[in-house]
Amino acid sequence: PDHIVTMDDKQWIMTKRQKTSVETNVLLLDIPRAIIAKYSHKTYRDGKLFPVLTNQKTNS
């Protein structure tokens, strides 16, 4: 994914918050990195890395 960068031998998720445009940096730990690797072989709707449920399924 485009938002994952490597600095000082550590991986970070670097993005801007949608409402305020403030930069956000989150250290990517081992378990989340494994989850990303599990889903990285395909892309879901609208180019998302993870499957996204519709509002209808979420609210039912």
Per-domain residue ranges of the chain: 4-59
Backbone angles phi, psi at 43, to 5 degrees: -115, 140
- The 10s digit of each residue's pLDDT in 28-53 is 999 999 988 888 887 777 777 777 88
Looking at every residue in the chain, the average pLDDT score rounds to: 87
Q: Count the residues in the chain.
A: 60
Q: According to the model, what pLDDT value does residue 44 have?
A: 75
* Strand ranges across the sheet with 10-16: 4-7, 10-16, 23-27
Q: Is the pLDDT of residue 10 over 80?
A: yes
CB 37 within 8 A of CB 49: no
Q: According to the model, what pLDDT value does residue 1 have?
A: 64
CB 11 within 8 A of CB 35: no
Better-scored residue on pLDDT, 53 or 24: 24
Going by pLDDT thresholds of 50, 70 and 90, the confidence category of residue 2 is confident
